[in-house]
């Protein structure tokens, strides 16, 4: 039973939360392809490092730290936006249902990135796809002050150097990634929410429906842009650590070939992230389109065309041009980031 105080708050139909399974499916397929058809046993034969490898490693490490900080800020920001909207606009039932759905996404994503299923060995460990011996050769001898006596890092890192720093920070970034990804996916799905006093079987007046649809469209755009920001900064982070040791390779041909390998893998990840965005944005958009079409029919029948004109986003020409262009840019932004990075134009992240 809906309490009177909750009637103005939003409530999501639990069935719509099944949309959150679609990005999980995309993730499983993407990692299956890498784990089955990729090569996690890459070994760079005859590897030699430049005399300046210590300085090269430090430069790459600082770029990585900057990317971690940048990505951490993005994840905290988009998660904060979601938490504020969820607790300020939704009923307790809607909040609880949504949190259960997010928990499911976190468990599944961490099961890949942290626990790594046996049927897909090392697929999330991109250093295994790029030559683990290269990462070891450059990063393990590198000094890490946090591992020294009195340092803040565990004693077990003393013999692992910068390699430990990479894994230590990435493990914690994975937690932020899972939480923020769950937030933007759930935020997108919650655009389908309706006031608790207006169930699927209850048809509100046209003025109320116009406000509901306007709010829903604004929410989809907001979380589409949040998704683009989150996954684009994620691509910057990924490029920074995949290309960490590459510049230290002495042999010119091997260095160029390794840079190409980093580029190819970054583009694959960018495509994966873009399809992830599509997997939850497209279903929500299609459901909203059905509602908007029904609204237009009702407005035409009632002879109140001014209601549609007063609601931002119902102008078909505007949707077909500017809004569509912005949506496309947000969706393909991870691919663009991967492509730019692959040509060495992303703030020195190229090979």
- CA-nearest of 13, 9, 22 to 282 is 22
Residue 117, pLDDT score: 47
Mean pLDDT, the chain, whole residue set:
79
Q: Are 231 and 75 in contact (CB under 8 A)?
A: no
Residue 7, pLDDT score: 60
In the predicted structure, residue 317 carries a pLDDT above the cut 50: no
What percent of the chain has pLDDT above 90? 29
Average pLDDT over residues 250-267: 91
pTM: 0.82
What letter does residue 203 receive in the DSSP assignment?
Answer: P
Q: What is the pLDDT of residues 128-168, one digit of tens each?
A: 888 889 999 999 988 888 887 666 777 667 778 888 888 88
Residue 321, pLDDT score: 42
Q: Are 11 and 193 in contact (CB under 8 A)?
A: yes
SS3 helix, strand, coil % of the chain, rounded to 5? 75, 0, 25
């Amino acid at each position: 039973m809906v309490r009177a105080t909750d009637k103005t708050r939003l409530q999501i139909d639990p069935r719509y939360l099944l949309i959150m399974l679609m990005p999980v499916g995309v993730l499983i397929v993407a990692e299956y392809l890498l784990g089955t058809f990729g090569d996690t046993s890459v070994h760079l034969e005859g590897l030699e490092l430049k005399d300046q490898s210590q300085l090269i490693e430090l430069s790459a490490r600082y770029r990585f730290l900057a990317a971690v900080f940048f990505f951490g800020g993005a994840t905290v920001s988009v998660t904060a936006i979601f938490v504020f909207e969820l607790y300020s606009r939704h009923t307790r039932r809607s909040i609880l249902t949504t949190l259960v759905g997010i928990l499911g996404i976190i468990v599944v994503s961490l099961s890949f990135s942290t626990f790594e299923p046996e049927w897909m060995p090392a697929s999330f460990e991109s250093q295994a796809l790029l030559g683990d011996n290269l990462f070891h050769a450059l990063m393990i001898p590198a000094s890490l002050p946090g591992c020294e006596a009195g340092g803040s890092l565990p004693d077990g890192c003393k013999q692992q150097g910068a390699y430990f720093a990479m894994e230590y920070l990435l493990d914690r970034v994975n937690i932020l990634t899972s939480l923020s990804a769950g937030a933007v996916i759930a935020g997108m799905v919650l655009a389908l929410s309706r006031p608790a006093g207006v169930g699927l079987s209850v048809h509100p007046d046209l003025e109320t429906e116009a406000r509901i649809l306007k709010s829903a469209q604004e929410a989809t755009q907001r979380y589409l842009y949040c998704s683009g920001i989150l996954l684009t900064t994620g691509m910057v982070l990924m490029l920074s650590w995949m290309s960490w040791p590459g510049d230290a390779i002495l042999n010119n041909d091997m260095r160029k070939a390794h840079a190409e390998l980093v580029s190819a893998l970054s583009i694959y990840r960018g495509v994966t992230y873009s399809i992830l965005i599509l997997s939850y944005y497209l279903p929500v958009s299609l459901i909203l389109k059905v509602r908007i079409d029904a609204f237009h029919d009702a407005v035409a029948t009632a002879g109140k065309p001014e209601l549609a004109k007063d609601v931002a986003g119902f102008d078909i020409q505007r949707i077909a041009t500017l809004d569509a262009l912005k949506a496309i840019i947000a969706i393909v932004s991870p691919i663009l980031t991967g492509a730019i990075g692959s040509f060495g134009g992303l703030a020195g992240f190229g090979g």
